[in-house]
Amino acid sequence: MAATTIALPPVEMPLLHEYRGRVGMLCLILAESAIFSIFVVAYLYYAGKSLSGPTPAEVLDRPYLISACLIFSSFTIFMAERAIARGKIRLFGIWWLLTIVLGAIFLVGTAHEWYGLIYKDGLTISSSLFGTTFYSLVGLHASHVIIGLTGLTITMILTAMGYVKQEHAPRIEVFGMYWHFVDAVWIVVFTVVYVIAR
């Protein structure tokens, strides 16, 4: 084969491998957003169409406290990401624990709200369209919080056992993206359920 006589042009480097985790998590977020969107659309479409049962205005109180906790937990997880990126594992552990506590408060608050709705107001998933769409949408979100909390807790245990190091910072950042997504979904759910359709 004759040697090439034309000078080869320089080579561009495409997007680096290290973005894999973030791109993958964005894909998951995209898919999850689509699922949540469908539940939100169903909620809005059926708003006001229940044939019976209590109305949102009658039984829903805006959950300001637990929402604030969840939103603040986005800040705490962000601080945790910063800490581990700088190699400060103990500081990371503290912010991480705070995130877990805030997330747990959110879940307990939701459970408390549901207890009241079911036993005092008689609103269940089968009692009316409002009940069906409410528990489905808020429940879908809560299940994602539970998944997040599970991951957070496992990481906490591994941190306490000393397995988590500065080199894991990118993975923590990817996990953080998931948690921020869960918070963003809550902002949407809060607006739709407790503000717009109330």
Considering the complex, state which of residue 136 and residue 153 has its C-beta at the smaller distance from other proteins: 136
**Cα 151 to Cα 177: distance, rounded to the nearest angstrom:** 13
Considering the complex, state which of residue 48 and residue 87 has its C-beta at the smaller distance from other proteins: 48
Least CB distance from residue 100 to other proteins, whole Å? 26
Can you say whether the dihedral through the CA atoms of 90, 95, 101, 107 is positive or negative? negative
For the record, the structure tokens of 156 come out as 């906490």
Interacting residue ranges for other proteins, rule: CB under 8 A: 1-6, 8-9, 11-17, 19-20, 23-24, 27-28, 30-32, 34-35, 38-39, 42, 45-46, 49-51, 124-126, 128-129, 132-133, 136, 140
Say if CB 35 and CB 183 are below 8 A apart: no
Considering the complex, state which of residue 30 and residue 158 has its C-beta at the smaller distance from other proteins: 30
Considering the complex, state which of residue 21 and residue 109 has its C-beta at the smaller distance from other proteins: 21
14, amino acid identity: P
Least CB distance from residue 106 to other proteins, whole Å? 22
Least CB distance from residue 95 to other proteins, whole Å? 28
Q: Which residues contact 88 (CB under 8 A, 6 or more apart)?
A: none
Task: Measure Cα distances from 48 to 115, 131, 133, 157 in Å.
Answer: 23, 12, 11, 46
Closest to 121 (Cα-Cα) out of 183, 56, 169: 56
**Cα 143 to Cα 59: distance, rounded to the nearest angstrom:** 22
Considering the complex, state which of residue 6 and residue 161 has its C-beta at the smaller distance from other proteins: 6
